[in-house]
């Protein structure tokens, strides 16, 4: 049975595609790519059909990641097929939980940085869109740090499903 994770930010061109690509690489490194499906979406549809922001692509490539991306908008109907919905900030968390058809679906929504013990109380990944490259680099650092704990949680869930 495939375990499905979807990362969600605002427009699906900066943070969530970055998280998707990084986490997909972590899943592959862990040998779980046959069991875990990773994708991303935005809370809004402003960029639907567009590729990732060129700064996102540049930061990912500079750090050894590759992968294509086409932006899309998250739909409430997706909850039924997803195991985990990862919000990039508290605004997305609230929007996604309001969109969830059931309480069980709302419980699938988690903040990415909640998987990073070093994050403390600051669980939002700031939107780098209106800033410079340093914001994209900071975003990547946060995504990579949280991906370690997220991978451990997903591995536990996948092994639990297999038992």
Active site residues: 9, 15, 127
Per-residue tokens: 139: 């975003």
Residue of 111, 107, 72, 71 whose CA lies nearest to 89: 111
* H-only helix segments in the chain: 15-29, 54-62, 90-99, 103-106, 133-162
Euclidean distance between CA atoms 36 and 3, whole angstroms: 5
State whether residue 149 is helix, strand or coil: helix
Euclidean distance between CA atoms 19 and 39, whole angstroms: 9
Per-residue tokens: 96: 């996604």
Identify the bridge partners of residue 131 per DSSP, sorted by sequence position. none
């Amino acid at each position: 049975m495939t375990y499905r994770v979807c990362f969600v930010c605002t427009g699906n061109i900066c943070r969530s595609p970055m998280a998707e690509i990084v986490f997909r690489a972590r899943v592959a490194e862990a040998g779980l790519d046959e069991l875990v499906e990773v994708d991303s979406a935005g809370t809004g549809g402003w960029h639907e059909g567009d590729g990732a922001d060129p700064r996102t692509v540049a930061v990912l490539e500079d750090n050894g990641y590759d992968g294509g991306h086409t932006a899309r908008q998250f739909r409430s109907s997706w909850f039924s097929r997803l195991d985990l919905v990862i919000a990039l900030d508290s605004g997305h968390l609230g929007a996604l939980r309001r969109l969830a058809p059931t309480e069980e679906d709302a419980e699938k929504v988690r903040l990415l940085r909640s998987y990073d013990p070093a994050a403390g109380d600051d669980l939002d990944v700031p939107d780098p869109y209106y800033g410079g490259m340093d914001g994209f680099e900071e975003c990547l650092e946060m995504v990579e740090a949280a991906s370690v704990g997220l991978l451990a949680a997903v591995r536990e869930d996948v092994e639990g499903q297999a038992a």
